[in-house]
Amino acid sequence: MFRSCARLVALSSLLLSSAALAQEKIKVGVTATLEGTYTVLGEDGIRGHQTALNALGKKVGDKELEFIIASTDATPDSAIRAVRKLIEQDKVQILLSPLSGDEGIAVKNFAKTRPELTFVNAASGAQETTYVDPSPNFFRFNMDGAQWQVGLGKYAYETKGYRKIATVGEDYSFIYTQVFGLVLEFCGAGGQVTNRQWVPLGTKDFASVIAALPDDVDAIYLGLGGADAVNFLNQYQQAGGKAHLMGGSIMVDQTILSAKGNAKNALLGTIAASGQADTWEDPGWQKFVKAYQDAFPPNKRFPSPSLLATNYYGSTMALILALRQVNGDLSNNQAKLKEALAKIELDAPNGKIKLDSNRQAIGTNFVTEVVDDGKGALFSKVVKVIPNVNQTLGYDPAVFSKIGLPSRTVPECKKY
Amino acid sequence: MTRFIERHPAWALILLIAVAVMLWLILAVWPPGLEEAIGRKRVFLNAVFNGITLGSLYFLVASGFTLIFGLMRNVNLAHGSLYLFGGYIGYAISVWTGSWVLGFIVAFIGVALVGVVLQIVVFRRMEGQDLRQTMVTIGLSIVFADLMLWVFGGDFYQIQTPNWLVGPIELPLVTALKSSGEAVYLRYPMVRLVIFVAAVVIGIAMWLALNRTRVGMMVRAGVDDRDMLAATGVPIQLVFVVVFALGAGLAGIAGVVGGTFQSISPGEDTRFLLASLVVVIVGGMGSIPGAALGAVIIGLAEQLGSVYIPTYAIVVTFLIMVLVLALRPQGLLARR
């Protein structure tokens, strides 16, 4: 009995593997933060990924793409665990990963240990990932946190007339990068950043942080995301906060603007900057929004795609288009695919994207303001569109490298 | 109290001075030198109040935990799941009926029923086998977490505060003097104060129930000697069920409170389990006043830490736990 059973298993496994050979597949591993503080962001990222698959299909020549999704929780070790699992257990050949800043740095470093594979960044935006010691097989088709803040500092200083601001941000690389971009531009224009508060990712009780906010500033910049942002706004409202607000790219985003409850109303009129604007009139963007809305029932999506959905859409699109250019040829350590990815120019929903020599996106940025659509839903309205934003933010690379890497205290508030 | 002073005069003096300093810090208008040294008084007062209100949330969770442990010697590691489940029920009910208060009642009853089922179906079968019970509760907490993730998704939910509780209230505590000599009073979120008062009321009610009622007497007797109590003819299994239901129901109420001034999402279960473990270890396993003291200490440490030493704020609570374990391993207010 036992022997016949074993034989059957052996036979069927043989059959299965030959079947797999007959219809060749390209396996792609995808990670998203489907746990923890950034759950909502990860879920919408996957929706963006799905929208891209709906638009482009899964066929590459005569091969079929197979996507395997793994969950992380925004910590670097969870990302490495997920990527390892995808490579070692699911045998994926290409990675579409990760979502969050610290994860990005960890996965980039990990990518160096597997030079034969290709890593396409899904959405993470820490500067260090592609700026310091980049990995030749790691490609990022979204801008970093600092690029996403371009235009905000000037707009706040010149149009809004803010002279002194304070910042509150989550204590990790992506928000450092965002504050880096903001401070550089705001202080460059002549503004002052008097106070920078950092809170651990996943903070629940912001009451003391809110109490410690200075009174003598024109606006408060919030670099928070996911559950943290909603908790902050909820408690900010309960504490009767009335200051002008400025938002980072994942703060003023559909992940927060369409959260349940009325705490989000504190964001009305908030100025922000990001790699997208909900109400942009560009036909490509409108088409993407429509495709996103049609792909999911209204209660299973946001009214309009979040930055994460857009990023996952863009990175999935880049990967599929590059794979089609080389007709799915992964021979010679995927050399052709890597070459194609480095050269590809993407007509993404949020503007044209191409890569620089570090394989980092150069793209379009948007300054926005939060408005009410009249029915109680909040959207980010485009105020200014800034094309061709590169990683050194228009600075001379030599000057830029002197500023230092984004951290709690870098950059200093001065003109570089 | 007097016995404590007689036995530890030095400690009593230090405690007295600490309390006096704290009162002065809270009531007096700070001299400019002090403000320069440690920041504005508003920040300090807020941190203290936040610590105490956060402590009241911890107390609600931990008191049920410690009650169950005290009587049944059962370390219920699924307590965090009960908290989260209560939060979800509270959310569903408050959305459905629009009533915040009803959310509390239904959450209490619903989670208490889960507690009853747990006690009858699971724990009664393995009475007295501590290790087995602990392992089973770990398993249950994982199962519950996945079930709740399945039903409610990974989204974070926030229970709507009723309108009369939104916004701040002015407290008669001076935070600063304007240059004109006019006093600036502390403004503090109303909802947190209400929750604090509610926690105090629940705490006192529990103390009264334990010390002034017949059932409470049975529970106390059971904590001291379970077997002897059973031998006197008390239906001990019934007492167990009631206590388990009460402890679980308290966790359910705490879930609604947590969902109101913070938010509920997957992962909150382990966070609150950990918090209540730390609280009862500091306060003393099985002691209700211990849970109250531990909760306030941990709440204060978290909030003052997040203001004055933000980088190490997370470490402070565990440092306190380590200190207590090293100097007084049975907990600050343990009975034996």
Angle at A392 between CA A389 and CA A396, to 5 degrees: 115
Task: Report which residue type is found at B289.
Answer: P
- Give the nearest partner residue to B42 out of A198, A211, A231, using CB atoms: A211
A47 CB neighbours in chain B (<8 A) are: none
**Is the pLDDT score of B35 beyond 80?**
no
- Give the nearest partner residue to A240 out of B53, B187, B302, using CB atoms: B187
Chain A closest CA to B50's CA: distance in Å?
A: 6
B54 CB neighbours in chain A (<8 A) are: 205, 207
Tell me which long-range contacts B211-219 makes (C-beta under 8 A, separation of at least 24).
Answer: B215/B239, B215/B242, B219/B71, B219/B243
- Give the nearest partner residue to B167 out of A205, A230, A238, using CB atoms: A238
pLDDT of residue B68: 87
CB of A230 less than 8 A from some CB of B: yes
Residue A164 or residue B262, greater confidence:
A164
CB of B235 less than 8 A from some CB of A: no
Strand-pair category, B183-189 with A63-71 = unpaired
Contact flag B47-A208 (C-beta cutoff 8 Å): yes
pLDDT of residue A1: 47
pLDDT of residue A19: 47
Task: Report which residue type is found at A293.
Answer: Q
Token readout for A300 is 């299973």
Mean pLDDT of B181-206: 87
pLDDT of residue A39: 84
Distance CA B260, CA B219 (A): 32
Chain-centroid distance, C-alpha B326: 23
Q: Please choose, from the candidates A235, A299, A228, A257, the residue with its C-alpha nearest in 3D space to the C-alpha of residue A33.
A: A228
Cβ contacts of B203 within 8 Å, gap of 6 or more: B59, B63, B288, B292
Angle at A51 between CA A342 and CA A263, to 5 degrees: 105
SS (H, E, C) B148-165: HHHHHCCCCECCCCCHHH
Asked if A122 contacts A54 with a C-beta cutoff of 8 angstroms, the reply is no
**Which three-class secondary structure state does DSSP give residue A300?**
helix
- Give the nearest partner residue to A208 out of B168, B263, B303, using CB atoms: B303
Contact flag A240-B168 (C-beta cutoff 8 Å): yes
CB of B178 less than 8 A from some CB of A: no
Mean pLDDT of B11-35: 84
Q: Please choose, from the candidates B310, B255, B156, the residue with its C-alpha nearest in 3D space to the C-alpha of residue A37.
A: B156
The residue whose two tokens read 């091969």 is: A63
Asked if B86 contacts B255 with a C-beta cutoff of 8 angstroms, the reply is yes
A229 CB neighbours in chain B (<8 A) are: none
pLDDT band of B5, cuts 50, 70, 90: confident
- Give the nearest partner residue to A207 out of B46, B155, B190, using CB atoms: B46
The conformational region for residue A280 under phi > 0 = left, psi -120 to 50 = alpha, else beta, is beta
Contact flag B310-A227 (C-beta cutoff 8 Å): no
pLDDT of residue A4: 54
Asked if A182 contacts A153 with a C-beta cutoff of 8 angstroms, the reply is yes
To which H or E segment does residue A180 belong? helix A173-189
Please, which residues 52-111 of chain B have a Cβ atom closer than 8 Å to chain A?
A: 53-54
Chain A closest CA to B155's CA: distance in Å?
A: 6
**Which three-class secondary structure state does DSSP give residue B74?**
coil
Chain B closest CA to A41's CA: distance in Å?
A: 10
Characterize B166-179 residue by residue with b for buried, 16 or more Cβ atoms within 10 angstroms of its Cβ, and e for exposed: bebbeeeebbeeee
pLDDT of residue B285: 84
Asked if A246 contacts A272 with a C-beta cutoff of 8 angstroms, the reply is yes
Please, which residues 285-324 of chain B have a Cβ atom closer than 8 Å to chain A?
A: 302-304, 306-307, 310, 313-314
List the domain boundaries for chain B: 41-265
**Domains present along chain A, CATH in parentheses:** 23-144+286-363 (3.40.50.2300), 147-280+364-403 (3.40.50.2300)
ipTM for the assembly: 0.74
pLDDT band of B34, cuts 50, 70, 90: confident
Tell me how far CA of residue A125 lies from CA of A141, A148, A178, B155, in angstroms: 10, 9, 9, 23
CB of A407 less than 8 A from some CB of B: no
Asked if A305 contacts A254 with a C-beta cutoff of 8 angstroms, the reply is yes
Distance CA A275, CA A143 (A): 7
Residue A149 or residue B215, greater confidence:
A149
A34 CB neighbours in chain B (<8 A) are: 154
Contact flag B154-A207 (C-beta cutoff 8 Å): no
B272 CB neighbours in chain A (<8 A) are: none
Low-confidence residues in chain A, pLDDT < 70 = 1-23
pLDDT of residue A235: 86
Asked if B298 contacts B313 with a C-beta cutoff of 8 angstroms, the reply is no
Chain A closest CA to B224's CA: distance in Å?
A: 38
Cβ contacts of A81 within 8 Å, gap of 6 or more: A72
pLDDT of residue A33: 92
Mean pLDDT of B176-195: 82
pLDDT of residue B38: 76
Distance CA A151, CA A367 (A): 6
Strand partners, A352: A347
Token readout for B288 is 């209700």
pLDDT of residue A118: 96
Tell me how far CA of residue A211 lies from CA of A115, A379, B95, in angstroms: 49, 28, 30
To which H or E segment does residue A357 belong? none
